[in-house]
Amino acid sequence: MNKKNNLLHSITNPILAASGVWSESCSQLNDLVQSDLAGVVLKSCCLNITNIVSHNDILKLDNSLIVKSDLETNHGYQYMLNTLIKTNKHSNTKIIIFSINYENNENLEYILNNLKNKTNKTILVEINLNYKNDKYIIGYDLKKIVTILILLLKYTNTNIQAGLKLPPYLDEKIIERLSEIINIYNSIYFIVCNGSIPNIFYTTDNDYVFTTKTGYLSGKINKYISLNNVRLFNKYLNKDITIIGCGGIQSINDVRDYIKYGAYCVQIASHFYDEYQNKLKINEINNLIKSYMTNISKL
């Protein structure tokens, strides 16, 4: 696979907006594409509309962490595809990444084939393996990841540039082995190192422990998990695979740390999320980007 045309390498600054409840409607995306962000990741979608059980209890442990709050309905692939098409009409310069929650190979192949045939333009596709299907988080199942990488070989030399959004790993040996597998099949353009702790822990009432309004456990606590994953994947992955860092970014120093340890770019979100208006704080994001670009030579 020739990755010299990796669309991610066309960005003008290293800061993108991550997937989430702030990037699912046309009005939200119009705000994001008009910002100084280099690109936007659409909210991860399933093939069909999925209703997620909500949690009514809100517990604020500090200003940046909310445990057990409401989660949004997943509107499904067709809704997000229509949102992508409408947004693309107004954005010729922004990178827009389509994000898919991995459910099974059949659903993934259907979506990828449909996306491929909708346009001749190159499409960046993030396959979210930090998504809990009926049984477990797929990103911890290396055998299943092999089947996904084999499936993605079908899209070599097409307009699909696929990557994997990975769950946080706490064991270097797993990262080393996963990197070997990715290197062998050579069917992806990028990975997203995500420090967000997935919903795999429950209370005695079958309630999720690590649940926030924006998805899984988010905030500053995630930075050091994700940063270490970036460092280790940078050590083991082939250098033509782009690494994106995601988790706990609040300042230009956080961006610098990710770039220093091997990320090509970063995704930001939860620190800049206004839960009452359900959107990102665009002015704060623009200020972060301007500050980073102004001080890049000093960082």
Residue 53: per-residue pLDDT: 45
**Residue of 62 and 94 predicted with greater confidence:** 94
The fraction of the chain above a pLDDT of 70, given in percent, is 82
pLDDT of residue 54: 43
**Higher local confidence (pLDDT), 20 or 128:** 128
| 224-256: pLDDT as tens digits | 999 999 999 999 999 999 999 999 999 999 999
Read off the pLDDT of each residue in 23-52 and give the average, rounded to a whole number: 90
CA angle 36, 42, 47 (to 5 degrees): 170
CATH number for the domain harbouring residue 20: 3.20.20.70
Residue with tokens 């979210």: 128
- Indicate the number of domains in the chain: 1
pLDDT at 196 over 80: no
In 10 A of CB 78, how many CB atoms?
A: 14
Whether 22 is covered by a domain: the verdict is yes
DSSP summary character for residue 263: -
Q: Is residue 1 part of a domain?
A: no
Task: For 104-156, give the secondary structure using H, E and C.
Answer: CHHHHHHHHHHHHHHCCCCEEEEEECCCECCCCEHHHCHHHHHHHHHHHHHHC
Residue 280 in any domain: the answer is yes
Q: Determine the pLDDT at residue 162.
A: 98
Are 208 and 202 in contact by the 8 Å Cβ rule? The answer is yes
CA-based nearest residue to 77, from 24, 39, 131: 24
Q: What local confidence, expressed as pLDDT, does residue 205 receive?
A: 55
Rounded to an integer, the average pLDDT of 7-11 is: 95
pLDDT band of 270, cuts 50, 70, 90: confident
List, in sequence order, every residue forming a beta bridge with 192; answer none if it has no partner: 165, 244
Q: Is residue 26 part of a domain?
A: yes
pLDDT, one tens digit per residue, over 100-120 is 999 999 999 999 999 999 988
Whether 113 is in a domain gets the answer yes
**Residue 287 confidence (pLDDT):** 97
Tell me whether residue 234 is in a domain: yes
Q: Which residue range(s) make up the domain with 66? A: 7-295
From 72, 38, 44, 17, select the one nearest 290 (Cα to Cα). Answer: 38
Task: Kindly give the pairing relationship between strand 160-166 and strand 190-194.
Answer: parallel
What is the arithmetic mean of pLDDT over 170-183? 97
The pLDDT, as a whole number, for residue 199 is: 55
Instruction: Average the pLDDT over 28-47 and give the result.
Output: 94
The pLDDT of residue 21 is above 60? yes
Q: Closest Cα to residue 211, out of 220, 200, 222?
A: 200
Residue 186 — pLDDT band, cuts 50, 70, 90?
A: very high
Average pLDDT value over all residues in the chain: 85
Q: Is-contact 291 252, C-beta < 8 A?
A: yes
Please check whether residue 2 lies inside any domain of the structure: no
Region of 191 please: left (phi>0), alpha (psi -120 to 50) or beta. Answer: beta
At residue 182, the pLDDT reads 98
Q: Is the pLDDT of residue 78 over 90?
A: yes
Burial class, 69, CB count within 10 angstroms (exposed 0-12 / middle 13-18 / buried 19+): middle
Give the SS3 label for residue 228. helix
Position 50 pLDDT exceeds 60:
yes
Residue 15 · residue 293 · CB < 8 Å: no
Q: Is residue 173 part of a domain?
A: yes
The pTM (predicted TM-score) of the whole model is 0.88
